[in-house]
Structure 1
Amino acid sequence: MIWMRFAKDLYDERIKQICILSDLERMKSEAEELRQLHAASTTESEDTRSAKTKKERFDGQSWDSLKASPFYDVLRKHKDVLRDEIPAETPQDKGIQHEIDLVPGTKYCVTRQWPLPRDQVKAIDDFFDSRRQAGQVRESKSPHSASMFCVKKPQGGWRIVHAYNKMNDATIPAQTPIP
């Protein structure tokens, strides 16, 4: 069940009761594994991580650093889809066009943009101006629209968030299983 539909059904009281079956011992062992994985992945301090630039983080994921990964052979086999440097332009058109199926009878999904603080507007404008100059985005011709806002990043700066609630509700989920 899709979580959004589940939340709506729960809110509309179409779901009266939830029963969660669990194995307490298995849950405890999985929680301990997660704690250990988290401890291993957070060996570098928050200060060190926030001080790294995007390029330094990108370089830290080089082919040499991935050799210990169990997925290294698969990654090397499909290396044509992975970049060796931070992309500055859109990838070449490979002739594959993506389409999203909408529920029949759906009108245009238009959400008005709500007012934002000036610093968020500046962050959004700067982001899209730089992407437009690099050729990564173009002016939209879509009749659909979604509001956007920004969330403060832990390292500083803004993360742009799009409110696609209306569009998600009008979208028919893909029936193709994810491999």
Structure 2
Amino acid sequence: MKEFEDVVSKDPPSQLPPDRGIRHEIDLVPGTKYCVTRQCPLPRKQCEFIDAFFDAKANAEMVRESKSPHSSPTFCVRKPNGKWRLVHAYNKLNSATVPAQTPIPSKDVILNNMAGCTLYSALDLVDVYYPILMRESDIPLSAVSTPSGMLWEWLVMPQGLSNAPATFDRLATQLFRPLRAFAQTYFDDIFVNSRAENGQTAMEVHLRHFHRVFEVMRANKLYANIDKCVFGAEEIKVLGCFVSSAGVRADPEKVKAIGAWPTPMSQKDLRKWLDLANYLHKYSAGYAGLANPLSDLLKKDTDWRWERQHQEAFDSELTACAYPDSARRVKVIQRSL
């Protein structure tokens, strides 16, 4: 880890990233004119934070002064640690942006690839948008105003753009595809999974895998927040589930929530219940068919009438999801060897 301490940091350096062939693009809906939202006054402390933020980004050549006809306002919100988080209100621009159709990584594929290994680690990347350059012609669209009267435009992809997550996912997929046998990516998360092989212990293999992941991160100026990383665990939380050598199991907190759920009193209540139950159903054999009477209540133009068959279906589904019998109801997803 010490060899790569430069890529595991809470405060990565501000710098212009290399051009990797993937730039953030903003394609506007035909007929769109100017996306402008007025900047509101802000308290002095926020103004000082915003000015200092842009001064630092300008020194790093990540932003420049703008004459764009587009303008989105800037404000701040408090983070859980009490510090400020800068936010750009790109609402109008996002509404006029053609949505990207980049496929979202499949949660089930990621879990299946990881299940059955011996050691796991998770890396939480920090400032994942800034490592991507903007398409030159779209830089004026990124223009943001500040309470002090400045108009800046971004040379790198800022946070707040509707297609930004899709662009970063394209980059992560491109960079880590050669390592997909042991490194899974999901937006700003990287999961590393290893087992003993070729006469090496699981830890030796895990360290070798980490070395390759860190090499890619260093070469592409990607950084992980050390405070949010997990290293060398036998079980790890991945996308709302827990993965280990035994397979995949549901998050106990969600299982607990299912067990304490009251009888739904409206379609809204039922929809919330089914959303959570659908998350857990793959771990419970016999779930298929139980939800049919409940789903019927959500059909268009259906009157809400909670009857005996609905209560029975609700009780059966609750039991199947919340109190699975490990021998009969739980289905553990095993990774194919």
TM-score normalised according to structure 2 size = 0.27
Task: State the structure with more CA Rg.
Answer: 2
Structure showing the higher strand proportion among its residues: 2
Please state which structure has a larger fraction of its residues in helix: 1
